[in-house]
Structure 1
C-alpha cells in the first residue's frame, strides 16, 4: 500500500489470523499500527512477534467497550487514517441444533455486526476531521453471499454487514474516506475456536489482498471470492444499487464530516419502498 506519509492504522481482532497478518504488512510498510483484542496474553504474543505494534485489550462486543476504544483512539491516535473492522467469531451450530442461551447468540451478533457499525459511527468523524485520505475496511465473508448452513448466524450477520457497507460507502462518497469490503473465503485462522482450521493459507491471503486495500477498489476478494463469476454478480449488484440509491434523497457526509442533503422535517414519515 503505497503512501506519501506514515499512516495510523487501527485493526480490531488483530492478535491472530487475518488481523495479525494485515498488521504485520502495515508495519512493514512503515505505518503506525494499533491492534485490539480481548486476550492480554494473545496481544502480548502478537507484540513479541511484531516489534513496534501497539496493543489495547478491549472488548468490542459491548457498547461500553467500543466507546472506550474510540476514546483511546481520540487521545492516542487522532490522526487515524485506516480502520479495519476485522474482529469476529464463528459459532458452527446449525439452526436445528442451536439450543444455546440467547446471550451466546447475541454475543456473536454484537461482535460481527453491532461492533463494526458502532465503531464506524464513532471513528468516521475522527477520520474526516483531519482531511487526509482514509480507508475504512469492513471484513465480511463469502458466507455473506452464499449462506452457510453450518454457521447460519455468522452468514446472516456478514450479509447484513455487506448491506451496511454498501450504504456507508454511499454516505462517504463525497469525502476522502474510501470504504472497502474485504471478502475472505475460508482462511485457516482460529475464527471458529479450538480445532483444526481449514481454508487458504493466511500469509498467502494477506500477501494477495494487502496491496489492494488502498481504497481504489470497493470490494477485494481472494480465490472463490475473486472469480469472474463472483465479481460479475457484485457488478450487477452495484449497478442496481446505483440506479436505486437516489429514489429518496438522504443526508451524506461532506469533507470535514458535516452531513448534507435532505433532512426529514419533524413529523415527516420515513420513506418506504
Structure 2
C-alpha cells in the first residue's frame, strides 16, 4: 500500500478480543480511524471505553443479514474505507468421531469461518474500489489451513477453504489498487476456542510483529512457525503453481472502478 498522509479507515471484524482487538489497538494508537465489530454489545462497549474514539458495531458475522447490515453501516459511517481485516472466528475443539452436536451448531462454525468472510468480501470490495485509492483486504486464516488439526477438523477445513478463496480474490483484484493479504497466525494464546483453551504465541508479541507487515507489500504474513523459511517457501511454490494454472480458462477480473472486465 502506498504511504498516505491522512489516516486510514479500518474495519476489523471480531475486534472485541484476541488478535482483532490487538490489531485494533495498534491501528488506533497510530492515529487511524477504526471500526470494530463483534457479537457482544457489552464487550464492544468495554473496548470503546478502553480506546476512546474507536467506533463499534454489534453484529453477527454468521448471519447473511448481519453481514449486509454491517456493509450498509460501513458505507454510511466509513465511506473512505481502505483497510479491511476479516478476522472474526470461533474454534470448536472436538474430533470428528465424537462430534454429535446439533447441525445448527456445526453450520454456525462454517458460517463464521467461511461463509462470513466470503460474503463480506463480495459486499465490501466494490466499496474499496470506488474511491480508487490504494487499499488492503486482509483475510485471517491459520496454520491449521496447511496442516489439518484432528482436534479442530472443521476449523482447519474452513480455514483451508478460506486460504484457497483468498488466493482467488487476490487474482481477481490484480488489475486494481486493492492488495489482498493473508494473515496466517500459528497457535496464539487467545480465547478463540473458549475459556481454558488458550495456548500458543503471546498475542501482544504476535500483533507487534505482524502489524507493520499488513500494508499490502506482501501477499502473506506469518509468525513463528508460519514465518519459517520452509513454510514461506512452500507458499511461494504454491503461488507459482497457481500463477501457471490460473490462465487455463478466461475469466473476468475486477477493474479499477469496481466493474468486471476481461482477464488480462
State the TM-score, normalized to the length of structure 2.
Answer: 0.98
Structure 2 counterparts to residues 24-43 of structure 1, below 5 A: 24-43=25-44
Measure, in 1, the Cα distance between the counterparts of 2:41 and 2:64.
Answer: 20
Query: 1:224 and 2:219 equivalent?
Result: no
Q: Secondary structure at the match of 1:163?
A: helix
Query: 1:16 and 2:17 equivalent?
Result: yes
Q: Secondary structure at the match of 1:136?
A: strand
Measure, in 2, the Cα distance between the counterparts of 1:233 and 1:119.
Answer: 28
Unaligned runs of 5+ in 2: none
Moved over 4 A (4+): none
Alignment partner, residue 133 of structure 2: 132
Alignment partner, residue 192 of structure 2: 191
Q: Secondary structure at the match of 1:5?
A: coil
Structure 2 counterparts to residues 190-209 of structure 1, below 5 A: 190-209=191-210
Measure, in 1, the Cα distance between the counterparts of 2:139 and 2:5.
Answer: 24
Query: 1:173 and 2:170 equivalent?
Result: no
Q: Secondary structure at the match of 2:7?
A: coil
Which moved further from structure 2: 1-10 or 225-234? 1-10
Unaligned runs of 5+ in 1: 263-273
Q: Secondary structure at the match of 1:69?
A: helix
Structure 2 counterparts to residues 226-241 of structure 1, below 5 A: 226-241=227-242
Alignment partner, residue 73 of structure 2: 72
Alignment partner, residue 265 of structure 1: none
Which moved further from structure 2: 158-167 or 69-78? 69-78
Q: Secondary structure at the match of 1:4?
A: coil
Measure, in 1, the Cα distance between the counterparts of 2:56 and 2:138.
Answer: 19
Measure, in 1, the Cα distance between the counterparts of 2:105 and 2:114.
Answer: 14
Q: Secondary structure at the match of 2:69?
A: helix
Q: Secondary structure at the match of 1:84?
A: strand
Measure, in 2, the Cα distance between the counterparts of 1:46 and 1:105.
Answer: 29
Measure, in 1, the Cα distance between the counterparts of 2:77 and 2:247.
Answer: 38
CA-to-aligned-CA distance 1:27-80 (integer Å, 9 cap, x gap): 111100000000011111111221111001111101000000000001111111
Query: 1:108 and 2:113 equivalent?
Result: no
Measure, in 1, the Cα distance between the counterparts of 2:239 and 2:123.
Answer: 27
Measure, in 1, the Cα distance between the counterparts of 2:250 and 2:212.
Answer: 35
Measure, in 1, the Cα distance between the counterparts of 2:157 and 2:252.
Answer: 27
Deviation at 1:261, TM superposition (A): 1.2
CA-to-aligned-CA distance 1:73-97 (integer Å, 9 cap, x gap): 0111111101110000000010001
Query: 1:54 and 2:55 equivalent?
Result: yes
Alignment partner, residue 64 of structure 2: 63
CA-to-aligned-CA distance 1:127-166 (integer Å, 9 cap, x gap): 0001111000000000000000000000000000000000
Alignment partner, residue 255 of structure 2: 254
Q: Secondary structure at the match of 2:200?
A: coil
Q: Secondary structure at the match of 1:190?
A: coil
Q: Secondary structure at the match of 2:196?
A: coil
Measure, in 1, the Cα distance between the counterparts of 2:107 and 2:4.
Answer: 39
Deviation at 1:244, TM superposition (A): 0.3
Alignment partner, residue 271 of structure 1: none
Measure, in 2, the Cα distance between the counterparts of 1:118 and 1:4.
Answer: 31
Deviation at 1:99, TM superposition (A): 0.2
> How many residues align structurally?
262
